[in-house]
Amino acid sequence: MCIRKIIGVIVLFSLIVSVITGCGNIDSHREDEAILSQQDNSLIESEYDEIVIKSEGSKIYLTLEEAIDQSYCVVKAKLNSINEGKTRREYNFTLEETIIGNMDEVHFIVDEGYADYSVESTDTTYSTNKTDYEVGKEYILVLYKIASVYNGRDKYMIVGDVFVKLDDSDNIAEYRRYHQKEESPYKTAKELLNYARTVTDDSKERFVYGIPFTRSSKIPDIVDASQYIVKAVVSEIESEDPNSNRDTYICEVTDILRGTTKDKINIVLFKNTVSIGKEYLFLLNKATEYSLTYTLSSVYSVVDLEKEISVAEEIYTLISK
């Protein structure tokens, strides 16, 4: 049981990496190659002749109990709107009640990519290209939390594709897992929420997926939040994503002030914030020490060495202490 739950988290994390960094290039995450080989990206054309990215992948089977126990939170919420993009959709929910864990946002976003999935150890296959959710309806949501410096806000994903729609009387109107309709083991929201409280320790630490970063604009906080601090020249774009607010750049390291890096590294940067051939001071983090892609430790983690001399000097002073 424990092995299955651990593997499930690893597979989910690998799929989440593309959400966090915005990198669609599987080769940029070779450290996860064995896992990512389960997810093949292909291109299809929509009826509007636009290119849409479609994925194929597999998911570890989780029971309802396992999904609740692995979640960041379980909440009751109302769906306000659905935003369909080229590669994924966003659900905008309003929080009504927190059952397990912590939900600090009254309005929050649930992210869902377009994909065809198979569920390991089962015969279940399904597609997320069409949604089962309806605007204006209430749902019980079992959620992972995803934090990323590149998003304006935290995002969430459904654990185990648990789908619980409520009617106007708080009865369970529809219950699905992995997009397969099932008979709900509970008739009302109250019964299900009481069950959720019995299968997990609400006081345990709830894991947040994503690469650490700080929302602070203060230089000492940003320095403290950075695993790697380097000077580097931006040499070229390694991976460009027209559907995202960031691209991946190849940068040639000229000086390492903190951490250990290779001479050339990939950094995910906001679009139109750097110039090719120019040297910057970068404050960075990455998912693991084996990762090949670095991310910013804050939205203020790119320092122009020509225009922000005083900021660079403050960083040098803090590092030397």
- More confident site: 82 or 41: 82
Between vectors from CA 84 to CA 80 and to CA 86, what angle results, nearest 5°? Answer: 160
Q: What is the pTM of this model?
A: 0.74
Average pLDDT across the chain, whole number: 85
Nearest to 103 by CA among 79, 75, 131, 67: 75
Residues 79, 54 contacting (CB under 8 angstroms): no
Is the pLDDT at 39 greater than 80? The verdict is no
For the chain, domains (ranges, CATH) are 2-209 (no CATH), 219-320 (2.40.50.120)
Residue 262: what pLDDT? 96
Q: How many helices (H) and strands (E) does the chain have?
A: 6, 19
Q: What's the maximum distance between 2 C-alpha atoms anywhere in the chain?
A: 64
Nearest to 67 by CA among 133, 165, 164: 164
The model's pLDDT over 51-71, given as tens digits with 9 standing for 90+, comes to: 334 467 889 999 999 999 999
High-pLDDT (> 70) share of the chain, % = 83
Q: How many CA atoms are closer than 13 Å to the CA of 97, on its beta-carbon side?
A: 9
Element (H, E) at 56: strand 51-59
Q: What is the amino acid identity at position 84?
A: E
Contact 23, 239 (CB under 8 A): yes
175-181-186-191 Cα dihedral, nearest 10 degrees = -20
Note the pLDDT tens digit of each residue in 81-118.
Answer: 999 998 899 999 999 999 999 998 999 999 999 999 99
Taking only the tens place, the pLDDT of each residue in 236-279 is 999 998 878 999 999 999 999 999 999 999 999 999 999 999 99
